[in-house]
Chains A and B, each alone.
Chain A
């Protein structure tokens, strides 16, 4: 059993005219303890909605989300259940997710106050522990957020999540608001935390390159569905889904060689009216007849990989192999 399990999750929003918009249309994902799973995809692919569903911030229309074997409840007016406090979320923008009018220390201590997990006398040493843990000087506890840089604020947001003694942290684009040198600092911090504290992490990002350095496993999402998951190294060296390949080819390299990245044609379709068959078929360079009509399932392949693409279906592969044989 995985720490966090999501099975065929659907998240459906409503347009003002009542049209249902399935932002997540049956996505499955697992995260184990101590493992960092990267979730990548273009804007509008549903990755943030899936992250919110993982922590109960949006209701799931279908499918199940379980954390430590128990179903995750949708957050309502009442306090979060104690069993779910070990499931934490870090938001993208540390300028908006931290209260500007309270000291850093008070905000990190919120988790002890709400959880009543610690006697008040030990709040201060624990806050100092947490600040050290995320690589900040302890005297920052008395400061206000406006006195901190973006990277420091994101560390504070991570310290707040750690204060609840989490088993699992979901991070929604935690690196995209940061400068590249600071981004590397925070990325390395996440790797250290997952290893040292054995915390599972679901790391959402549109930046495939940074995910490659941080995540043990990577899941690629396109228009509400997971199209490929694989150990990160394998996903990069031999992407199976044409969309994964397109994402990798679009990354510009800072090597001074002057290669223009390859652009993926077309636009992400309206999730309310997804294309028939494989959702990627209108933009796919390898599209075949059956892609237009049949939906490919996310199927298990060798080496702990999964891919939803007709190119890798057993008899197609066999057929192609036969085609090249004399």
Chain B
């Protein structure tokens, strides 16, 4: 499996009054064509900033380090005009809230064909034909009528489908979906997940799925990286990381979820609150909330090491080992 996108030691710093703040602190992962790569973590873990860095959409004043190689070119080192050509044609993004990312006063046709005409140079007629095909592809009923509609005339699920159609307009090879179903009902969410799955299979599309919802991640992603406070806690095949979580943070996240087979069991929350970038603890950033923390966790940042079953994790205190020692 060769990687379509290879992110290596990505750093993102934001300048603040108190000096530069490392929002993303050395993150590496590979994304392959036709695969869904899941990026999980709570708010403030740096998962969205990671995606914005790939698209060159970071806020002014942000600096990046490391590399993100796609088709032999480093996305982080591109000029802004090269980036503009990349966006939409190579990488597209779908945001959480379709209400705020679609223009309320422009028709769906205008928003769908803009890309096609500007990026691909299609004629108005060809662009229209392609736009109808795109809406059909994402299962919008009566696409011709939908083209004349405005965003407010559609439900949340339909708007998200339209947003995905816009993202796919120029046939990108990589789609970055940031919490694409968080604002939707479960019934509608299931439809969007199935749509993304089908697109991945049929179009050999690579997807970076960013979400805090481990259920969503588990049903769609082939590989998963769990981030905490800007660093990778655990990563590997979904079946391993979600099915048999080993890092104390991942296990905490899984235990905090309502469990389908054990409804009478109380939920087991992780103690404390997620660490924001401005108050990141020393050493392993998870140590103040970790049941297994040792004094050494407070001092040294644990390195990300590959363990036998194909996963990588950054924890010197493997909970399995710890529970056996007790």
User: Which residues of A come within 8 Å of B, CB atoms?
Assistant: 42-43, 149-152, 179-185, 187-188, 191, 206-210, 212-213, 232-233, 236, 246-247, 249-264, 267-268
- A253 and B302 CA atoms in complex are apart in Å by 30
Sort chain B's interface into a size bin.
35 or more
Within 8 A of A (CB), among B214-261: 214-220, 238-244, 252-254, 256-258, 260
B216 touches A181 (CB 8 A): no
Partner of B243, one of A43, A255, A262: A255
Most chain B CB atoms below 10 A, which of A150, A209, A249: A209
Question: A-B pairs with CB below 8 Å: how many?
Answer: 142
Partner of A183, one of B191, B215, B242, B256: B256
In the bound complex, residues from chain A placing their C-beta under 8 Å from that of B244 are 256
Main secondary structure on B side of the interface with A: helix
- A129 and B92 CA atoms in complex are apart in Å by 52
Minimal beta-carbon separation of A53 from chain B (angstroms): 22
Partner of A256, one of B42, B218, B273: B218
A209 touches B257 (CB 8 A): yes
B212 touches A179 (CB 8 A): yes
On whether A256 and B190 interact (CB within 8 A), knowing A152-B273, A236-B263, the answer reads: no
Minimal beta-carbon separation of A210 from chain B (angstroms): 5
A184 touches B218 (CB 8 A): no
Q: Does residue B288 face the partner (Cβ distance < 8 Å to A)?
A: no
Q: Does residue B269 face the partner (Cβ distance < 8 Å to A)?
A: yes
A250 touches B189 (CB 8 A): yes
Known: A191-B266, A256-B241, A258-B219. 15 other contacts (CB 8 A): A42-B188, A149-B273, A150-B43, A179-B43, A180-B253, A181-B256, A209-B257, A209-B260, A252-B218, A253-B218, A253-B260, A256-B218, A256-B242, A261-B186, A261-B193
A43 touches B274 (CB 8 A): no
- A185 and B189 CA atoms in complex are apart in Å by 25
On whether A261 and B189 interact (CB within 8 A), knowing A179-B274, A213-B263, the answer reads: yes
Q: Does residue B187 face the partner (Cβ distance < 8 Å to A)?
A: yes
A260 touches B193 (CB 8 A): yes
- A250 and B189 CA atoms in complex are apart in Å by 8
In the bound complex, residues from chain A placing their C-beta under 8 Å from that of B243 are 255-257
A264 touches B258 (CB 8 A): no
B270 touches A181 (CB 8 A): yes
Minimal beta-carbon separation of B164 from chain A (angstroms): 15
- A73 and B255 CA atoms in complex are apart in Å by 43
A253 touches B187 (CB 8 A): no
User: What are 8 pairs between A and B in contact, CB < 8 Å?
Assistant: A180-B214, A183-B269, A187-B267, A236-B263, A246-B187, A252-B190, A254-B214, A254-B242
Partner of B257, one of A152, A191, A206, A254: A254
